Structure 1
Amino acid sequence: MDNAFNTPAQVLDANMKAGEAKAKLPILKCILLGIMAGAFIAFGGASSNAAVHNIANQGLSKTLAGCIFPVGLMMIVFVGGELFTGDCLMIAGVADKKFSALSMIKTLVIVFFSNMVGAVLIAALVYFSGLLDYTDGALGAFTIKVAYGKATITPFKAICSGILCNILVCMAVLMATAAKDIAGKVWAIFFPICAFVIGGWEHCVANMFYIPAGIMAGMNDTYVAKAEELYGITADQIAANLNIGGFVSNLIPVTIGNILGGMVFVALPLYAIHRSKIVNKTK
């Protein structure tokens, strides 16, 4: 009788084969899949912000956001997309010599910037759609607050937070591979992603939506005034931190943390544990 789910060794094998296919993707297809994934993650961020922006209880707010945000990864898994954080699992294929480190790096770089294009595009559409006008501009103020918190996090905290985040994101990807039906994949994605959102940990692709959305919101006087009223964040603080410099200062350490979390804390240990069980292993 077949198992109800794939074993860890089977999951690792499937992941390495998927990584090999990713390394061979034509550049244009890789770019398009990356843009799609960035947009899907941004939809999760925009929707969760809209749902929780007026909830004062932090635990309840984070839990509700955690229930909504996973839709982004679900769309990627079911429809297609290349997500930088999940693609950090490609390191197992490099360790197994299925493809070169250079091809992995090339794929990751293309996917990273393609994810950014997709996420920033959705941030702009959200801003110009008027969504941030919710609750007399309170959603715009909340968008500023979220972005401000990310732009002012210290590099060490950002790295640690990035590690924690991508351990869970990569586990969601692997658990979805373990599941054999859609319902199983939905729940496999839901719980790890929900946990990372509740933990408030940093995801570089999500931040490609959150911070640009906050920068745009910071250009609106109504949202800025509301942010000072609700959160005590002044116009000067917003101007000083919600800019390209603040975006980059968050993205660099968070990306480093995400890489470490996915590669060092998930992919390589799993490869070391299960490589001997993989059938037809590439020499």
Structure 2
Amino acid sequence: MAYVKPDEVVAKMIEVAVAKGQLPVKDLLIRGFLSGALLGFATTLALTATVQTGLGIVGGLVFPVGFVMIVLLGLELVTGNFAVVPLGVLEGRIDARALLRNWGWVFVGNLLGGLVYAFMFVAVTSGGSPIAVKLAQAAEAKTTGYAQLGALGMTQVLIKAVLCNWMVTLGVVMSLTSASVIGKTVAMWLPILIFFAQGFEHSVVNMFLIPAGIILGAKVSLADWWLWNQIPVTVGNLVGGFLFTGLALYATHHRRAPATHELLSEAAPPRILNEQFGTAQE
């Protein structure tokens, strides 16, 4: 499947970071919107599979279809960008303004996509259906469920968010380890399955799930959504993606090209030998 080595993957991550940092706002919003909606589709598919089989692992197995579509179509997911785009700043090829611009507009696009799909899905879903009940219960568990635990709840949501995006961003990176569509799909599937099946917290998934649950009757306020989930989960996703995937892989697999004076220094001894002894020795 045309395996790509880690050093080459990190080099590609840097190129992707530069490209993402230069995208116009229109593209960031459109691609972000589509990503938010596609993760909503994947979430309802996973919930449907769980309800039909009674096995949460089945939902985890099918959820990655949305992520695969996002990556193969070159769309924008803020959680993935938390790991990749900072590498362009570390290399000095884009500035912090471009980084924040990417994160900000993609976040808005993801949110709009999640909200639009939430309203559309609720419009065709019966309020008493198993899926509707599941969505409402999940919305409450992800907000007021943490609030009831106080500081412990906030700690839990932050850690779950870090663990989630550690895996999600690995999905982004793993897609670069193959040059074939099949290889990319298999590589992406593995870490995304790990995150979803274990119930970790993903900010973009929650941009659909919690609003949909609220519309379907969950006893959750907008303040509950943002204070006990959306804000801390976004922060945790940022830390998990940047620290444990982007920065970690950059630190161990990035190979800096030698400077010109270093190349000349390494080449000097053979030239001296040639001049002094008239040999062709290298």
Q: Same fold (TM over 0.5)?
A: yes
Task: Return the offset for 1:243.
Answer: 2.1
Which residue does the alignment assign to 2:33?
A: 35
Cα distance in 2, alignment partners of residues 206 and 197 from structure 1: 10
The one of 202, 223, 226 equivalent to 1:245 is 223
CA distance in 1, matches of 2:6, 2:35: 25
Q: Which runs of 5+ in 1 are unaligned?
A: 219-237
Distance 2:251 2:7 in 1: 11
The alpha carbon displacement at 1:97 in A equals 1.2
State which of 95, 101, 112 in structure 2 corresponds to 1:100. Answer: 95
Structure 1 partner of 2:133? 141
Q: What aligned pairs does 1:43-192 form with structure 2 within 5 A after superposition?
A: 43-53=41-51, 55-56=53-54, 60-61=55-56, 63-89=57-83, 90-130=85-125, 132=126, 137-152=129-144, 153=146, 154-192=153-191
Structure 1 counterpart of 2:266: none
Q: Counterpart of 1:79 in structure 2: which amino acid?
A: L
User: How many residues were matched structurally?
Assistant: 250
The question of whether the paired residues in 2 share the 8 Å contact of 1:8 and 1:178 is answered with: yes
Q: Which residue of 1 aligns with 2:243?
A: 264
CA apart distance, 1:55: 4.9
Amino acid across the alignment from 1:31: L
Match of 1:194 in 2: 193
Sequence identity (%): 31
**For the structure 1 residues 181 and 128, does the alpha-carbon distance in structure 2 shift closer, same or farther, using more than 3 Å as the test?**
same
After TM superposition, where is structure 1 displaced by more than 3 Å over at least 4 residues in a row?
A: 277-280
Q: Is the 8 A contact 1:9 1:278 kept in 2?
A: no
Look up the SS of the partner of 2:142 in the other structure. helix
Q: Can you list the C-alpha shifts for 1:157-203, whole angstroms capped at 9, x where unaligned?
A: 11100110011111111111111111111111111111111111000
Q: Distance in 1 between matches of 2:238 and 2:160?
A: 12
Q: 1:102 Cα deviation (Å)?
A: 1.8
CA RMSD of aligned residues (A): 1.7
Q: Name the counterpart of 2:10.
A: 12
String of CA shifts for 1:226-250, please: whole Å, max 9, x gaps: xxxxxxxxxxxx43xx121121021
Superposition TM-score, scaled by structure 1 size = 0.84
8 Å CA contact 1:164–1:201 kept in 2: the answer is yes
How far apart, in 2, do the equivalents of 1:31 and 1:261 lie? Answer: 24
Question: How far apart are residue 277 of structure 1 and its match?
Answer: 5.5
